[in-house]
Amino acid sequence: MSSDKDACWFAVRCVFASGWPPDRSTPLYEERITLWLAASAEEAIERAEVEAIEYAGAIEESPDTYLGIAQSYRLADTPGDGAEVFSLMRSSVLEPDEYLDAFFDTGTERQKTVE
């Protein structure tokens, strides 16, 4: 790990295929974002991938699979209330509602909604 004087905070998103429960008929994928104090994006990703492999194997009977994609984002501020911890920009010809449906609201997400 880097010394604090040359380190910055990085958020790293890793993607997994869930192995639990083992008899699942429909694949389930998980995106996790973890925070790392590191000297570079490369160091943050390297450390996040080590943790991702450990995380994926946490359930021995039916381990998740780390899919080998890690994306990092250097935080502009120290993590705290309201701090931006991840940003990914994507070009698309889709209209806003279509874009959300295609990438974020497919109807298969496991999430709580706020009414």
Segment-wise mean pLDDT, segments of 10 residues, the chain, 115 residues: 77 91 83 95 97 92 91 93 88 90 82 70
Q: Do residues 2 and 37 touch, judged by C-beta distance below 8 A?
A: yes
Task: Report if residue 30 sits inside a domain.
Answer: yes
Domain that holds residue 72: 4-77
> What does the pLDDT read at residue 113?
67
> What does the pLDDT read at residue 103?
85
**How far is C-alpha 60 from the geometric centre of its chain's CA atoms?**
22
Count up the domains in the chain and report the number. 1
> What does the pLDDT read at residue 21?
80
Task: Report if residue 104 sits inside a domain.
Answer: no
Task: Report if residue 28 sits inside a domain.
Answer: yes
Task: Report if residue 64 sits inside a domain.
Answer: yes
Task: Report if residue 17 sits inside a domain.
Answer: yes
